[in-house]
Amino acid sequence: MTARIIDGKAFAAGLRTRIAADVAALKQARGIVPGLTVVLVGDDPASQVYVRNKGVQTREAGMQSDEIRLPATTSQAELLAVVTRLNADPAVHGILVQFPVPKQIDPDAVIMAIDPAKDVDGLHPVNVGRLALGQEGFVSCTPQGCLMLLKDVLGDLSGADALVIGRSGLVGRPMANLLIRENCTVTVAHSKSRDLPSVTRRADIVVAAVGRPEMVRGDWLKPGATVIDVGMNRIALPDGKTRLIGDVAYAEAVEVAGAITPVPGGVGPMTIACLLRNTLIAATPK
Ligand code: NAP
């Protein structure tokens, strides 16, 4: 059996087109232009690339995109003052502080300072709590994108055995809560889990969010399982170049799984598309 390849790039492009149409309609009907402000502290090269991509795609969707770049020496108080100002600005509907922040700044204090109604990253404890309680709120973008892909492939997820490998606040935990909301039977594995291959073999759905290149092997999978690979691991090649690979051994898994996301081109493009979706929701009058 060869798995169906889940084309996240195409799905995300379609989602962005639908968002752009809704943005145009909101502008015409209510005169509202959704605005996203990204705050970048320091000069981490990977963050610069992410922020640039976010800006391009936000503008392409017809939204207002602003970037605030602060030096690596910025104090926590200075960053919190910027966040407070953005909270009060009616033209700003979504605020995203790009992590990681320099070590003198406590990321939790920054997240706490963001108005939950503008927390388009879905990281504020109010939004995390709403998700955990099954209530409406902003959901972290990457797991939201994973769920969209899963529903596109499988339709109704009710009753499926779902395994989430990883329990981070950014991916694993919100993913597990989303799958509970979809009536899956959810297992969450982490670095202390015992006999992960056996646990994985029971799962109809496997979401791998670990950060370990090709950790999940093909013979760990139940035949026909749907595999969502969140991992983005940049590995060095002998010729000095680098390559992005996932947490799943793709060449093996594709022979066993029913459907699988590639890396790149699977989950990655969904994250920014879901950020745009959250910003549109934040800008739409309730
Ligand atoms: P993270 O905060 O480092 O969390 C990793 C999780 O994996 C932890 O819960 C850890 O367990 C668990 N883990 C580590 N080693 C393990 C092992 N041997 N067996 C089972 N579980 C293990 O990472 P993250 O932020 O969730 O990101 C995970 C991956 O997704 C990374 O590759 C990241 O680059 C990628 N990512 C991609 C996107 C995207 O847009 N595609 C977005 C975000 C993240 P403990 O809790 O016990 O330490």
Where in the sequence numbering do the catalytic residues fall?
A: 54, 98, 121
Q: Profile the chain (286 residues) by mean pLDDT over runs of 10 residues.
A: 95 98 98 98 93 96 98 98 98 97 98 98 98 97 98 98 98 98 98 98 98 98 98 95 97 98 98 98 96
State whether 145 and 259 are in the same domain.
yes
Domain count, the chain: 2
State whether 250 and 184 are in the same domain.
yes
* Closest ligand 1 atom number to CA of residue 268: 41
Say if 201 falls within a structural domain: yes
Average pLDDT, the chain: 97
Structural domain span for residue 75:
30-118
Q: What is the pLDDT of residues 174-192, one digit of tens each?
A: 999 999 999 999 999 999 9
State whether 95 and 150 are in the same domain.
no
* Closest ligand 1 atom number to CA of residue 192: 47
Helix axes 8-30, 45-60, angle to 10 degrees: 50
The rounded Å distance from CA 219 to ligand 1 centre is: 21
State whether 93 and 159 are in the same domain.
no
Res 110: pLDDT: 98
Pick the residue whose CA is nearest to atom 1 on ligand 1. Answer: 168
State whether 165 and 252 are in the same domain.
yes
**Is 209 strand, coil or helix?**
coil
The rounded Å distance from CA 166 to ligand 1 centre is: 5
State whether 150 and 245 are in the same domain.
yes
**CATH number assigned to the domain comprising residue 229:** 3.40.50.720
The rounded Å distance from CA 173 to ligand 1 centre is: 11
Considering only the C-alpha atoms of the chain, give the largest distance between any 2 of them, rounded to a whole number of Å. 56
State whether 162 and 256 are in the same domain.
yes
State whether 109 and 156 are in the same domain.
no
Res 1: pLDDT: 74
Residues lining ligand 1, Cβ inside 6 A: 142, 165-168, 170-172, 189-193, 196, 209-212, 230-233, 267-268, 271
